[in-house]
């Protein structure tokens, strides 16, 4: 399967220290009321993408995440289950995964398909698979938002990530706009459904291609580039290579099984 | 889009499995219960469509409920084909793995030693896929009331793209005090029964269900002919009363299936029984179809099962047609439209083209076209 990348946007909390809410209000003139940090993070990435590439009304939108909006679950759990207080109306609405994608779609003036989905493993690659299948059918372009918020306390997120307690997790949002059409594309990405073994991965690396591993998940592999974790970091790795106009082989790992993404710069 | 066949379907809902639910529909004996939830000032009782055997809000109970349903539909797929079968779940369930992690971390009296396992709302699908030898590709979609309907469309796209030979789509929703309180706070819960399209309708009644459909290219009498999904609404909780957003998905679903409106045998409406949703939908029906169109609402039999409703209501519609009839819309005595009214009696029907609508919170709307050809 091959998709062309028209453009991208990227933010990571360990690389930039910005007041996202203020930026959304002042720079992008968006109404931030009744929205959580998770939604603001998604909106910030969307606005940066909008600055870099034309968005069409019928573009499809996919939003994926490792575990979604922890803050709103924590808040409603405290109010309703612990303090026996009534549920706040906008907490109820924000509990739904597609609330985030609604606000993103609205801020981009998209009226096409809009899906919020989570895969337990290979989250980003699985989302690419469904996005590819969809636009293969519709012949439209699609935007993929990959988002993870490191809420406080981060231990909550770490408990569902399958990691050691000392692993550093960060907030991140990464977008790409994909198409089946190569015109004006800055890169192409190839992927498949195949699960690779460690031996196959090592063989693949013999050809000298630059490989980037998911450092925390691929603990046994070498050449890890990043010692922090967020579930959708494949998307961030892609964007980092795009920023440098580099080719890349991204290797993700889960329970000793590997999946790959091949990025080829067209610039 | 190319059609994908519907090979097997089953449900576990408030009236039981498909066979028991059809029996209840024909006998007119619909069971409903009550649930207590926290409202702003006090606890209140609300009507609810409960499963006959309760499924608790914990991971093991939810997993067992999904597994039991899966066991009933999986025989439609040869054992050798399971590795090329995707599993997609549609739900709006809260992720209880996260709730447990919050409990163990945040509250002093519930703190637990640090333990970490990779878990998410999609863990149910992942564990089921591992246990039954399905493809490692799993996915859980949360687009509120359209979750499992969207899962069906995503699954059919993947089969048409040649990625998988089969796909199992499950929808699940179980009683959640938080979700129920949310709907109550929005003043959307009916006092007693849902009365879709009736002048006196006063809201929806939630329900719980697990439902499943197997899609593939093997021969079958039912097929998913096409559909269209979008995100377009006036507000985050409702489409405009003109129904124009609904018209768009209905017309594009017809286009994607190569079907004209007058070729549609009947329409399964989303029809929650809420004031604005029903008004928008009947206005949309009026803009797409002639007044002679047959349409019905299934929620008075099984409740509004949110994320499960996509798979559940299609499965129930197919089972009714397999049994030779289209169910009437219960409790609608005076339609809100002078020209358009839902079925007030069961109508004979054995095959045809059917439109199935779902319009949800978060602006998600979807319309699917299914066909039965004998």
Spatial distance between the Cα atoms of B316 and B268, rounded to a whole number of angstroms:
10
Whether residue A155 and residue B364 make contact (CB cut-off 8 A), yes or no, is no
Whether residue B230 and residue A112 make contact (CB cut-off 8 A), yes or no, is yes
Window 230-269 of B: residues touching A by CB (8 A cutoff) are: 230-233, 236-237
- Asked whether residue A207 carries a pLDDT value surpassing 80, the answer given is no
> Structural domain tally of chain A?
2
- What is the structure's pLDDT at B77? 98
- Asked whether residue A240 carries a pLDDT value surpassing 70, the answer given is yes
Task: Name the closest residue on chain B to residue A109, using Cα atoms.
Answer: B232
- A162 shares its domain with A204: no
CB of A180 less than 8 A from some CB of B: no
- Opening angle at CA A223, ends A219 and A227, nearest 5: 55
CATH architecture of B4-372: 3-Layer(aba) Sandwich (3.40)
Window 150-169 of A: residues touching B by CB (8 A cutoff) are: 153, 155-165
Of A98, A117, A121, the CB nearest to B364: A98
Spatial distance between the Cα atoms of A235 and A3, rounded to a whole number of angstroms:
14
Q: Which token pair is A192?
A: 């498949």
- A181 shares its domain with A114: yes
Whether residue B362 and residue A129 make contact (CB cut-off 8 A), yes or no, is no
With cut-offs at 50, 70 and 90, classify the pLDDT of residue B1. confident
- A94 shares its domain with A159: yes
Q: Record the pTM.
A: 0.97
- A255 shares its domain with A145: no
Spatial distance between the Cα atoms of B90 and B142, rounded to a whole number of angstroms:
6
- A85 shares its domain with A114: yes
Of A93, A118, A156, the CB nearest to B106: A156
Q: Where would I find the beta strands (DSSP E) of chain A? A: 2-12, 60-65, 114-118, 142-148, 168-169, 172-179, 187-191, 211-213, 228-229, 248-254, 257-265
With cut-offs at 50, 70 and 90, classify the pLDDT of residue A225. low
- Asked whether residue B292 carries a pLDDT value surpassing 80, the answer given is yes
- What is the structure's pLDDT at B127? 97
CB of A208 less than 8 A from some CB of B: no
Whether residue B140 and residue A119 make contact (CB cut-off 8 A), yes or no, is yes
- A39 shares its domain with A132: yes
Where does a domain end: A187, A216, A237?
A187
Where does a domain end: A120, A153, A187?
A187
- Asked whether residue A205 carries a pLDDT value surpassing 90, the answer given is no
Window 89-118 of A: residues touching B by CB (8 A cutoff) are: 89, 92-93, 95-99, 101-103, 105-106, 110-118
- A90 shares its domain with A200: no
φ/ψ of B198, rounded to 5, equals -90, 145
Task: Provide the CATH number for the domain around residue A35.
Answer: 3.40.47.10
Nearest Cα residue to A156 out of B123, B116, B95, B178:
B116
- What is the structure's pLDDT at A228? 81
How far A163 CA sits from the closest chain B CA (Å)? 6
Q: Could you report the per-residue pLDDT of B58-110, keeping only the tens digit for each?
A: 999 999 999 999 999 999 999 999 999 999 999 999 999 999 999 999 999 99
Q: Which token pair is B33?
A: 């219960």
- Asked whether residue A209 carries a pLDDT value surpassing 80, the answer given is no
The dihedral through the CA atoms of B151, B156, B161, B163 has a sign that is positive
Q: Could you report the per-residue pLDDT of B240-280, keeping only the tens digit for each?
A: 889 999 999 999 999 999 999 999 999 999 999 999 999 99
Domain boundaries, chain B: 4-372
Spatial distance between the Cα atoms of B298 and A93, rounded to a whole number of angstroms:
25
- What is the structure's pLDDT at B59? 96
Number of CB atoms found within 10 A of residue A221's CB: 18
Is the previous residue joined to A153 through a cis bond, with omega within 30 degrees of 0? Answer: yes
Spatial distance between the Cα atoms of A263 and A189, rounded to a whole number of angstroms:
5
Of A82, A89, A161, the CB nearest to B118: A161
Q: Which token pair is B349?
A: 């029907």
Q: Which residue has the tokens 């002078």?
A: B338
Q: Please state, for a pLDDT cut of 70, what percent of chain B lies above it.
A: 100
- What is the structure's pLDDT at A208? 66
CB of B199 less than 8 A from some CB of A: no
- A46 shares its domain with A135: yes
Residues of B in contact with A165 (CB under 8 A): 114, 116
CB of B118 less than 8 A from some CB of A: yes
Of A202-206, B44-48, B67-71, B277-281, minimum mean pLDDT range:
A202-206
- A141 shares its domain with A164: yes
- Opening angle at CA A94, ends A112 and A27, nearest 5: 70
Of A74, A110, A126, the CB nearest to B231: A110
Q: Could you report the per-residue pLDDT of B120-171, keeping only the tens digit for each?
A: 999 999 999 999 999 999 999 999 999 999 999 999 999 999 999 999 999 9
Task: Name the closest residue on chain A to residue B158, using Cα atoms.
Answer: A133
Mean pLDDT of A51-67: 96
Cβ–Cβ under 8 Å, residues B179 and B306 = yes
Of B40, B154, B182, the CB nearest to A92: B182
CB of B43 less than 8 A from some CB of A: no
Where does a domain end: A126, A159, A187?
A187
Probe site for chain B from A2, A84, A160, A217 (most B CB atoms < 10 A)? A160
- A234 shares its domain with A149: no
Mean pLDDT of B297-324: 98
Q: Is A110 helix (H, G, I), strand (E, B) or coil?
A: coil
Task: Name the closest residue on chain B to residue A167, using Cα atoms.
Answer: B116
Q: Which token pair is B36?
A: 């207590």
Cβ pairs bridging A and B (under 8 Å): 217
Task: Name the closest residue on chain A to residue B255, using Cα atoms.
Answer: A138
- What is the structure's pLDDT at A85? 83
With cut-offs at 50, 70 and 90, classify the pLDDT of residue A219. low
Q: In sequence order, what DSSP letters do the residues of B33-84 get, joined into one string?
A: EEEEEE-SSSEEEEEEB--SS---SSHHHHHHHHHHHHHHHGGGS-GGGGGG
- A232 shares its domain with A107: no
Nearest Cα residue to B347 out of B370, B328, B372:
B328
Nearest Cα residue to B296 out of B310, B311, B281:
B281
- Asked whether residue A224 carries a pLDDT value surpassing 60, the answer given is no
Of B114, B141, B181, the CB nearest to A115: B141
- Contacts of residue B60, defined as CB under 8 A and 6 or more positions apart, other chains included, come to none
Q: Domain range holding A238?
A: 189-265
Mean pLDDT of A161-185: 95
């Amino acid at each position: 399967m091959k998709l062309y990348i028209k453009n991208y946007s990227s933010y990571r909390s360990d690389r930039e220290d910005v007041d996202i809410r203020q930026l959304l209000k002042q720079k992008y003139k968006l109404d931030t009321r009744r929205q959580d940090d998770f939604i603001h993070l998604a909106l910030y990435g969307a606005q940066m993408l909008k600055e870099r590439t034309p968005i069409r009304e019928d573009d499809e939108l996919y939003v994926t995440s490792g575990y979604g909006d922890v803050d709103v679950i924590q808040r409603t759990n405290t109010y309703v289950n612990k303090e026996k207080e009534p549920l706040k109306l906008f907490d109820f609405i924000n509990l739904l995964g597609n609330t985030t994608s609604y606000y993103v779609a609205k801020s981009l003036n998209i009226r096409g398909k809009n899906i919020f989905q989570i895969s337990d493993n290979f989250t980003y690659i699985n989302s690419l698979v469904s996005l590819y299948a969809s636009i293969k059918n519709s012949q439209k372009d699609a935007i993929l938002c990959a988002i993870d918020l490191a809420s406080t306390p981060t231990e909550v997120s770490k408990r569902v990530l399958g990691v050691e307690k000392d692993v550093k997790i960060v907030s991140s949002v990464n977008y790409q706009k994909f198409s089946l059409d190569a015109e004006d594309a800055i890169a192409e990405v190839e992927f498949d459904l195949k699960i690779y073994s460690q031996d196959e991965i090592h063989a693949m690396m013999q050809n000298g291609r630059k490989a980037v591993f998911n450092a925390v998940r691929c603990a046994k592999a070498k050449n890890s580039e990043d010692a922090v974790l967020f579930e959708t970091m494949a998307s961030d790795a892609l964007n980092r290579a795009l920023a440098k106009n580099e080719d890349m082989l991204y290797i993700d790992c889960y329970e000793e099984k590997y999946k790959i993404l091949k990025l080829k710069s067209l610039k | 889009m190319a059609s994908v066949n519907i090979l097997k379907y089953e449900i576990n809902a408030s009236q039981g499995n498909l066979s028991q639910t059809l029996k209840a529909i024909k006998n007119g004996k619909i069971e409903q219960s009550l649930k207590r939830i926290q409202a702003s000032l006090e606890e209140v009782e609300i009507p609810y469509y409960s499963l006959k055997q309760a499924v608790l809000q914990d991971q093991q109970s939810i997993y067992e409920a999904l597994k039991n349903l899966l066991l009933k539909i999986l025989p439609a797929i040869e054992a050798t084909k399971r590795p090329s079968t995707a599993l997609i779940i549609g739900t709006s369930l809260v992720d209880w793995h996260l709730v447990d992690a919050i409990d163990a971390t945040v509250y002093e009296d519930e703190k637990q030693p640090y333990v970490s396992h990779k878990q998410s709302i999609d863990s149910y699908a992942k564990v089921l896929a591992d246990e039954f030898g399905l493809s490692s590709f799993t996915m859980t979609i949360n687009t509120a009331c359209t979750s499992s309907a969207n899962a069906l469309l995503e699954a059919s796209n993947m089969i048409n793209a040649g990625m998988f030979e089969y796909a199992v789509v499950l929808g699940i929703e179980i009683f959640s005090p938080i979700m129920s309180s949310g709907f109550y706070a929005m003043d959307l819960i009916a006092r007693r029964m849902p009365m879709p399209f009736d002048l006196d309708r006063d809201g929806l009644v939630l329900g719980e269900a697990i439902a499943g459909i197997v899609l593939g290219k093997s021969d079958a009498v039912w097929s998913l002919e096409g559909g269209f999904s979008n995100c377009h609404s006036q507000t985050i909780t409702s489409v405009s009363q003109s129904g124009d957003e609904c018209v768009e998905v209905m017309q594009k679903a017809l286009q994607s299936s190569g079907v004209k409106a007058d070729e549609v045998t009947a329409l399964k409406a989303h029809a929650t029984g809420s004031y604005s949703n029903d008004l928008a939908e009947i206005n949309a029906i009026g803009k797409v179809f002639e007044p002679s169109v047959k349409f019905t609402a299934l929620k008075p039999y099984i409740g509004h099962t949110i994320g499960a409703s996509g798979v559940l209501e299609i499965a129930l519609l197919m089972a009714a047609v397999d049994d030779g009839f289209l169910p009437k819309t219960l409790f609608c005595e005076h339609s809100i439209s002078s020209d358009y009214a839902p079925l007030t009696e069961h109508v004979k029907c054995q095959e045809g083209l059917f439109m199935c609508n779902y319009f949800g919170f978060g602006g998600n709307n979807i319309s699917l076209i299914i066909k039965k050809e004998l």
